[in-house]
Amino acid sequence: MSALAAETGSAEPRERFDALSWLTTTDHKRIGILYVCTSLFYLCVAGGIAIVIRTQLSRPENTLVSAPVYNQLFTLHGTAMIFLMVTPFAFGLANFVLPLQIGAPDMAFPRLNALSFWVFLCGGLVVFSGVLTSGGAAATGWTAYAPLSVLRIAGGSGQDLWIVGVLMVSIATILTSINFITTVFIYRAPGMTMWRIPIFTWEMVATSLLVLMAFPTLTADLAMLLIDRHLGGHFFDPAGGGNPILYQHLFWFFGHPEVYVMILPYFGVVSEIIPVFSRKPIFGYTGLVLAAFAIAGLSMGVWAHHMFTTGAVDDPFFSFMSFLIAVPTGVKFFNWIGTLWRGSITFATPMLFSMGFLMNFLLGGITGVMIASPPIDFQAHASYFIVAHMHYVLGGGSLFAIFAALFFWWPKMFGRKLREDLGKWTFWLLFIGFNVTFLPMHFMGLAGMPRRVYTYDASGPLPLLNFIATCGAYLMAVGVVLFAYNIVVSARDRTPVGPDPWGANSLEWATSSPPPETNFDTLPPIRSERPVFDARHPELDPGLAR
């Protein structure tokens, strides 16, 4: 993180890098960059853990790591990717981009914003500090199901550190969501009506509302877990009148909306990028915004589809609600295809990653509809089929949009572009590597491989499928290393980029790269959701064909 922060400092030749100013900053752009750098740090940590996991599973009955170590590894991998990478990257990106997109000088509550970041950073460190305890880090998966997570094992304070750390991250996420909603509702520039808000900002409003509804349930659930562990509570203990199913209900009441917290911002990212590289407005703007809120609303009523095999939920209701989410998600796909339709399409790296997002997410969406059907879930649940599905959504989906966003907004953040040739290599390594890793996992699951196992049987198709998956993981690792190399060589390039290197649409491209401390010297007139395009094409009527 400090290396990246140093790069940032040198991006502005006028001023020297000043660590204290970064520690005390309340500037939304700097906080956004701190979030992005922190989440990229956790991407490297969690990705490194994934490489150890894949190496352990590259052949049956491998002994690279022991069962207790393996259980900590997949717990930390899931926790870091979900709570410390995919979610906070979106919040960091929105911290940087959202106030600019609506023509605001900063977030509504700058000090609260700084507090959120530091609480989030410390929360992540608390989770990982478990590795320093004698019992090691938490080893119950990112879901920490009770009663397993209630068991107190000698030296096992790793689980407590996990609970406290995730609680801190959860509270930071809630505070930032309040900040986003207030900023969008109060701080829009003159002319920026609600129906001219760029799609990414709309998706962040839907995301923030979801956080406010879902995350308090997580904090309650984790607090109850702490009480059961240390204060003699019996919330989840049947012997004391409690119920283990209650933990699952509360967890997934948070956990399923959290899935959409991790994907809606990235729907926003590709909805910003596809119009720019198709040189057309987004198709069906209103439908796209309504679809975001439909997804957010429906996602509050589907949590128990994670619990079909418990035999303790009303399967048909939750199944039907889950199927319904496919409808607004399909609307979004047709919006993106409609934007490509009759466009003038170029494939710079952000666009390549956005197309990769569409390809991967589509498969994850289709398998998602399949496992919403309980008769299929009875086989797929808790198997590698679910591992494949969930990685197609969050890895092939969100992570590809994260790289699209990095390449797209990097010049705005740091005043110079990342190298395109290296970017395209990164894309192909990650795209091929991703599919080689995760496509075979569907078949592993159907062949009977449960998730969260450190070893498997040497007979049957599993050894070959696992070996293929491990090869793909190494390809992805090469792609990520190449991206890091790209950051270093691009930082040496002193060619400044102008305010708008891509020919883009929304207001952040109307100011210098990087923007001045107060964001804008002047604002162009805002007469549609793409004021920068309107300013570039004064001959066109911005209200045309609306």
Partner 1 sequence: MSAFGSWSPPTTQAALLRSDWLVFFWTGLAVAALVYGLIFFAMIRWRKRDDALPRQFRRNNRLEIFYTVVPLVMVAVLFGVTYAVERPVESVSAHPDLVVRVIAYRWGWQFTYPVQGITLDSKDPTDGPQMVLPVDRTTRIEITSVDVTHGFWIPAFLFKRDAIPGLLNRFDLRPDRIGTFAGTCSQFCGLGHALMHFSVRVVPDAAFVRWSRSAANAS
Q: Which one of the spans 5-13, 43-51, 264-272, 358-366 is the region binding partner 1 (CB under 8 A)?
A: 358-366
Question: Can you give the C-alpha Rg of the chain in angstroms?
Answer: 23
545 binds partner 1 (CB under 8 A): yes
Site string for partner 1, 147-166 (x = CB under 8 A): xx--x---------------
- Distances, alpha carbon 169 to alpha carbons 124, 140, 215, 289, 428, in Å: 7, 18, 10, 28, 33
65 binds partner 1 (CB under 8 A): no
74 in Cβ contact with 53 (< 8 Å): yes
Could you tell me the smallest distance in angstroms from the CB atom of residue 323 to partner 1?
4
Count how many Cα atoms sit within 13 Å of the Cα of residue 111 in the half-sphere of its side chain: 0
The DSSP element (H or E) to which 81 belongs, if any, is none
Quick check: helix, strand or coil at residue 504? coil
Q: Which of 134, 344, 495, 522 binds partner 1 (CB under 8 A)?
A: 344
Could you tell me the smallest distance in angstroms from the CB atom of residue 438 to partner 1?
16
Q: Which is nearer to partner 1, 107 or 355 (CB)?
A: 355
Q: Which of 26, 129, 373, 512 binds partner 1 (CB under 8 A)?
A: 373
The Cβ of residue 61 has, within 10 Å, a number of other Cβ atoms equal to 10
Site for partner 1 in 238-257 (CB under 8 A): 238-239, 242-245
Residues that contact partner 1, how many (by CB under 8 A):
86
The Cβ of residue 342 has, within 10 Å, a number of other Cβ atoms equal to 10
Site for partner 1 in 201-240 (CB under 8 A): 238-239
The DSSP element (H or E) to which 180 belongs, if any, is helix 158-186
With CA atoms as reference, report the closest residue to 236 among 135, 330, 150: 150
Q: Which one of the spans 128-136, 377-385, 398-406, 487-495 is the region binding partner 1 (CB under 8 A)?
A: 377-385
140 binds partner 1 (CB under 8 A): yes
439 binds partner 1 (CB under 8 A): no
d(C-alpha 9, C-alpha 11), whole Å: 5
- Distances, alpha carbon 192 to alpha carbons 34, 287, 523, 536, in Å: 28, 19, 11, 18
Q: Which of 1, 453, 468, 482 binds partner 1 (CB under 8 A)?
A: 453
503 binds partner 1 (CB under 8 A): no
Site for partner 1 in 279-318 (CB under 8 A): 279-287, 309-312, 315-316
The Cβ of residue 267 has, within 10 Å, a number of other Cβ atoms equal to 29
363 binds partner 1 (CB under 8 A): yes
Q: Which of 44, 362, 432, 482 binds partner 1 (CB under 8 A)?
A: 362
Q: Which is nearer to partner 1, 20 or 544 (CB)?
A: 544
